[in-house]
Each structure stands twice: as structure tokens, then as C-alpha cells.
Amino acid sequence: RHLDGPSNTWMVVLDPMKPGGPFEVMAQQTLETTNLTLRVHDVLFGDVWLCSGQSNMQMTVLQIFNASKELSDTAAYQSVRIFSVSLTQAEEELADLDGVDLSWSKPTAGNLGHGNFTYMSAVCWLFGRYLYDTLQYPIGLVSSSWGGTPIEVWSSRRALKACGVPNTRDERVLQPEIKPMRNGCESKESSCPFRRFVPCDPVAGPATHSVLWNAMIHPLQNMTLKGVVWYQGENNANYNRDLYACMFPALIADWRQTFHSGSQGQTERFFPFGFVQLSSYLLMNSSDYGFPEIRWHQTADFGSVPNPKMPNTFMAVAMDLCDRDSPFGSIHPRDKQTVAYRLHLGARAVAYGEKNLTFQGPLPKKIELLARNELLNLTYDQEIQVQRKDNKTFEISCCSDHQCKWLPAPVNTFSTQTLILDLSACLGTVDAVRYAWTTWPCEYKQCAVYHTSSVLPAPPFTARITHRGI
């Protein structure tokens, strides 16, 4: 038991309980001859996951595919409880939340489908639901997200300082001006599908550094968390992009330290941290590398997680879940079920230690240049399924006279674990190779390379060629 005298704040840390419930928790205080008793009813014990990020995390069940069915399924998941933090910002770290949109509640069609970008996150809900299906014990979900926000607003000042981020705490930061592709359908007939494009996020969120960390994350530090899931990055495509590979691991490390200390050590020091790699987006300028570079930086430039800079993390690749007809703009794809399913696979493997579970698509473990035959041999770390022999998704850096240019490298042949690219388009020296390095790499679930189950796409990558055969 911990008592903070001047603020009249007390804390009781219970011994760990086995998952289950419902229980009643009672607190009793005796003052002279008076007994004061407080009771909290319908309490469950289980795993609590915090969900945070910008608008793709903030999107609600009302906005996704099969919304009616998803909302009608809530009765089967009364052991999954939900909590939603109000949109608030603060200049200094707050000890308690300034507002709560939804206090701990059972899921209903009303609170899951309350409106667009309000109350409960669809990705968060679906992730928790998949976990409950697997674990069969109570899951608590805390949603704390705000659309149109860069990572800097969710980071503490000390985390930003560690990455040398310029301090713009007192300035407004311009939101990136990414112009979506115009609707190609110009017919006024009813057969023309309704499409509407909106800016990056419906409403640009705060951009002053640390204000959401202060108001929407730091006050939660006393919670005992199992882990965090995160979906953010769109608003850093044109803002401090090159610092993202430092800022994201720094945010993870700082959140871990804060929640471990704030929970009196109940939250694991290096708790699992999952995230969604950026999906796709229709752009007028197809050579804009904002999204592919953020995808790469989300892995601290390793291409996959966990890695030495991002231990105990997991990632859901989403670049193949495009949605050109989304009424919320193509930057907001409506298939959040697949996102959550891929996330939960990572959680099962990394957070819950499930063995022999494939939770990430294949990546090359060896890249060999066969110069004589004008071929590049990619050997993957898993068996692969090539959905189509694509002529554009793989690119090579072709250099001559100290100038390099990216050129398409068509797939020549492939087998169960290797893929060979045709380099004949390059008349100079092949220096590097990359895969899916574009904002919109493929149509829906039609990227070039998947795991043999066809469920998990190969993540994007870029690599220098160092191994040269004959």
C-alpha cells in the first residue's frame, strides 16, 4: 500500500490474480465510529492492452467492412471490457485523466458503433476479440488515440531529446500536404461508384510536441498492462521522417519504463509492443517515398521485428489492404479485421510465447548477384508463395558514372524458398535491391510475395548487394 499524503492519493497493489470473474472489490475505512465502504462490482481479472495512434487506430467498428455483423456479435464477448480516453492535451504531464469518453464497460453495439472516429477503436476491439477467442479469459482494452497526429505528440520530452528532435513545443507544425489521386470515374450515371477523398485525417490533430503523452498516456501509468498496440505514422511521412527510426524505438523504451515504474513493477519492464506497418494510399505523385520510408523506419531500418533496437515487438504488415473506394479516403482502409488478425498472431507469438506460429511474412536472408547471367538470387527465410510474376514490385539500383537510378527488375523464376530477378535492364553496376517501395504496392491482397499460407505478405525491404557470385 502506498499513500501520498499531500495529494490524499492512495494506492493498493493486489497480489496477482488468476484470470476470471466477475468479482466484487471492496475498500473499507474506519473513522472513529463510522465505517465507510466502497464497492466495485462486476470486476474481471485478465490482460489489459493499451491501443494508441492516429486515425486508423481511432476508426470505429461503425466505419469498417461488415460493420452490422461485427456490432451484432458483441453478446459473445462480454468478458472483453473496453475503456476510451477523451481527446485532451496538456503542456505538462498529468497525474490523472482530464476526461473519459467511456469508462470500463461491456461491449455493446451502441458503444462500439457510437460514431465515426469516436469512442472505441475497431483495430483495438478486433485485436482483443481475436485474443479472447484464443485465450478464453478476460481481456481489457484501453483506447487512447487522436487522428492527424505525428509521433512527437505521443512522445515525452526526454524521449524526443534523446533523438535530437527540434523542440517545437510552442509552435504549430504544418500537417503534410499529401494530395490524393483524383477520382477517375467522371460519369454522372448511377453506375459510377461513389467515391470521396478527404485530407490525411478528418480533422488535423494537435501537433505541439508531447501534449498527448502528457494528457492521454502518462495518466494511465498506474495501470498494469500486458502490452500495447500502436497504429501511427501517416503524419510523419512529411514531418521529421528521417528521425522516425530513432523516435519510434525511443517512444517504446520510454513507455515501457514509465508503465513499469507507475505500476509498482506490475507491468513487465519490457512489455510486448505491437504495431501496424502503414497501409497504402492513392497519390497523384507515385514517386513520393514518404510512406515506404516510414514503413522501413517503423522497423528501425531492419525490415522486420523483433530486432536489436526493438526487442519484444511484433508488426502487422498492411500494405496489401488497400481500399480505393473508402468513403473516409483511401488513407483509411476499411478492412480492419485482417489488420487485427495479423496483429494478434504477433501477440500470440511474442507476448504469449506460442511456439511454431508464423506471425510475419518472408524476408530475404541471402541476396546473391549472379553477374554473368544478369540475375539476382534472393533466398528467403521461409517458404514463399509468389502470387504473380510482377514486373514492377522489385527494383534494382543501377549505377554508372557515379549516378544511380532505380529500375524495375522482373521476376524471372522462383521456387519454394528462392526468387530470381532479371537484371538485364541495367547496363551498369547493380548496387541495391528493394521490394514494394511505393505508397500503393499492390491491389487488395495481391502483393507479389506471401508466406505459403498466403495469409502473411512479405514486408517491404531495401538492401545493398554485398554478395557477388560469378
Q: Is 42 contained in some domain?
A: no
Sign of the Cα pseudo-torsion (80, 77, 354, 315, in order): negative
Question: Quick one: 333 and 450 in the same domain?
Answer: no
pLDDT value for 469: 65
SS (H, E, C) the chain: CEEECCCCEEECCCCCCCCEEEEEEEEEEEECCEEEEEEEEEEEECEEEEEEECHHHHCCHHHCCCHHHHHHHHHHHCCEEEEEECCCCCCCCCCCCCCEEEEEECCCHHHHCCCCCCCCCHHHHHHHHHHHHHHCCCEEEEEEECCCCCHHHHCCHHHHHHCCCCCCCCCCCCCCCCCECCCCCCCCCCCCCCCCCCCCCCCCCCCCCCHHHHHHHHHHCCCCCCEEEEECCHHHCCCCHHHHHHHHHHHHHHHHHHHHHHCCCCCCCCCCEEEECCCCCCECCCCCCHHHHHHHHCCCCCCCCCECCECCEEEECCCCCCCCCCCCCCCCCCCHHHHHHHHHHHHHHHHCCCCCCCCCCCCEEEEEEEHHHCEEEEEECCCEEECCCCCCCEEEEEEECCEEEEEECCEEEECCCEEEEECCCCCCEEEEEEECCCCCCCCCCCCCEEECCCCCECCCEEEECCEECC
User: How many angstroms separate the first and last alpha carbons of the chain?
Assistant: 70
Half-sphere exposure of 102 (CA within 13 A, CB side): 23
Question: Quick one: 394 and 460 in the same domain?
Answer: yes
Question: Quick one: 330 and 417 in the same domain?
Answer: no
Average pLDDT over residues 332-342: 98
Condensed to tens digits (0 to 9), the pLDDT of residues 248-267 reads 999 999 999 999 999 999 99
Reading the block at residue 24, the C-alpha cell is 466484487
Reading the block at residue 179, the C-alpha cell is 494530395
Question: Quick one: 120 and 259 in the same domain?
Answer: yes
**Torsion of the alpha carbons at 170, 94, 51 and 180, rounded to the nearest 10:** -20
Sign of the Cα pseudo-torsion (345, 330, 118, 148, in order): positive
Rounded distance between C-alpha atoms, residue 333 and residue 321, angstroms:
7
Residue 292 has pLDDT above 90, yes or no: yes
pLDDT value for 178: 40
pLDDT value for 372: 79
Question: Quick one: 337 and 377 in the same domain?
Answer: no
Confidence of residue 197 (pLDDT cuts 50, 70, 90): very low
pLDDT value for 467: 72
Specify the residue for cell string 502528457.
214
Percent of the chain with pLDDT over 70: 90
Condensed to tens digits (0 to 9), the pLDDT of residues 150-188 reads 999 999 999 999 999 988 644 444 434 444 333 333 333
Q: Is 302 contained in some domain?
A: yes
Question: Quick one: 345 and 387 in the same domain?
Answer: no
Closest alpha carbon to 107 in 116, 120, 96: 120
pLDDT value for 391: 86
Q: Is 18 contained in some domain?
A: no
Question: Quick one: 398 and 462 in the same domain?
Answer: yes
Last residue in a domain, options 351, 375, 405: 351
Question: Quick one: 291 and 315 in the same domain?
Answer: yes
Question: Quick one: 338 and 275 in the same domain?
Answer: yes
CATH number at residue 228: 3.40.50.1110
Condensed to tens digits (0 to 9), the pLDDT of residues 14-71 reads 888 999 999 999 999 888 889 999 999 999 999 999 999 999 999 999 999 999 999 9
Q: With b meaning 16 or more CB within 10 Å and e meaning fewer, what string describes 237-251?
A: bbbbbebbbbbbbbb
| Mean pLDDT, rounded, of the chain | 90
pLDDT value for 179: 40
Question: Quick one: 205 and 104 in the same domain?
Answer: yes
Question: Quick one: 281 and 244 in the same domain?
Answer: yes
Condensed to tens digits (0 to 9), the pLDDT of residues 106-145 reads 999 999 988 888 889 999 999 999 999 999 999 999 999 9
Q: Is 19 contained in some domain?
A: no
Confidence of residue 196 (pLDDT cuts 50, 70, 90): very low
pLDDT value for 2: 59
Distance of CA 291 to the CA centre of its chain: 13
Q: Is 190 contained in some domain?
A: yes
Cis omega before residue 441 (within 30°)?
Answer: no
pLDDT value for 404: 96
pLDDT value for 118: 86
Last residue in a domain, options 319, 351, 383: 351
Condensed to tens digits (0 to 9), the pLDDT of residues 413-459 reads 999 999 999 999 999 999 999 999 999 999 999 999 999 988 999 99
Strand 47-53, strand 80-85: pairing: unpaired
pLDDT value for 189: 32
pLDDT value for 188: 32
Q: Is 239 contained in some domain?
A: yes
pLDDT value for 412: 94
Number of domains the chain contains: 2
pLDDT value for 5: 60
Confidence of residue 203 (pLDDT cuts 50, 70, 90): low
Sign of the Cα pseudo-torsion (316, 267, 218, 156, in order): negative
Contact by Cβ (8 Å): 260, 214: no
Within 10 Å of residue 96's Cβ, how many Cβ atoms?
9
Condensed to tens digits (0 to 9), the pLDDT of residues 386-395 reads 988 878 999 9
Question: Quick one: 238 and 303 in the same domain?
Answer: yes
Q: Is 270 contained in some domain?
A: yes
Last residue in a domain, options 300, 323, 351: 351
pLDDT value for 195: 34
Distance of CA 420 to the CA centre of its chain: 31
Q: Is 29 contained in some domain?
A: no
57: domain range?
A: 47-351
